[in-house]
Amino acid sequence: MPGTPALIAIDWGTTSFRAALLDGTGAILDRRTAAAGILQVEDRAFAAVVRSELGSWLERWPGLPLYASGMIGSRQGWVEVPYVPCPAGLAEVAAAVVRHAADGLALSFVPGLSRTDAAGVPDVMRGEEVQVLGVADAARDGLVVLPGTHSKWVRVARGRIVAFHTFMTGELYAALKGHTILGRLMRGEAEDAAAFARGVRRGAEEPALGHALFSARTLPLMGLLPETGVASYLSGLLIGAEIAGGLGLAGTVPAEVPVVGDARLQRLYHAAGQVLNVGFVAAPGDEAFRGCLALARQRGDVR
């Protein structure tokens, strides 16, 4: 029945804790967020965080299933849940969920996914897999992009995750901005749409990223890019390189590519897609919670 709580889902990452109370339709009845990422929790006192943040829900609806995804299921988290190899869909991921009871709390931890490419090199994700499973049906075939510190490009076929690739885009941007000559050239961080678009084009067209990056120095040096636009240009360049690389590795360009992430990143990818003729569309949000609901239903914890 809509409105009746059916699940508590927690999206618990390195730097943030987000939780939702869902009914059986996926509607979100209440939510909590806290600066209690796994790196901020001392002495692994994870149970105490759950009690203090979600105590009122636990009291009012005892026995509700709790699902947690993200880095909380890593070696540095509460319970280490082994990676599930790709291809994997709802069935394989649900089968690998680890239920852990302690201190009067029982939680179900979602596994991450792993993959090995033709060269024998592994890739991993943890937290994104549940978001992809929570994306609406539109993405049951095609690509889903989850931009961020370590962007993920995920290929989905018949609702199963068949492959994915990580790009260190966000972390590269921060390191380049904070600790190279490119950052020292930046004047301000105002968004400059024209500079961003130029960066996107450059990043997509020049295959050698280590060379392409230097244009963020030479263009302002030669007076061809305002110093106030360097930050946007560099951001565009890295995103453009990611898009070209992601499409190349995926080997496909679907008509629509859902982007899971915050509104600012969704806007940037949409703008980059207009430059490169890729149809990035914003995913509606709360995919992690809806993915947990799908897993809980698959496991019979929610009917």
Q: Which residues bind a copy of itself (CB under 8 A)?
A: 114, 119-124, 150, 165-169, 171-172, 174-176, 178-181, 202, 205-211, 213-215, 218-219, 221-222, 224, 238, 241-242, 244-246, 248-249
Distance of closest approach, residue 55 Cβ to a copy of itself, in angstroms: 34
Q: Which residues of 137-156 are buried (b: 16+ CB within 10 A; e: fewer)?
A: eebeebbbbbbbebbbbbbb
Of the pair 18, 126, the CB lying nearest a copy of itself is at 126
Distance of closest approach, residue 171 Cβ to a copy of itself, in angstroms: 5
Distance of closest approach, residue 226 Cβ to a copy of itself, in angstroms: 15
Of the pair 90, 162, the CB lying nearest a copy of itself is at 162
Of the pair 17, 167, the CB lying nearest a copy of itself is at 167
Q: Which residues of 81-98 are buried (b: 16+ CB within 10 A; e: fewer)?
A: bebbebbbbbebbbebbe
Distance of closest approach, residue 165 Cβ to a copy of itself, in angstroms: 5
Residue type, 78: W
Give which of 82, 172, 66 is closest to 126, Cα–Cα. 82
Distance of closest approach, residue 118 Cβ to a copy of itself, in angstroms: 10
Of the pair 157, 221, the CB lying nearest a copy of itself is at 221
Distance of closest approach, residue 151 Cβ to a copy of itself, in angstroms: 8
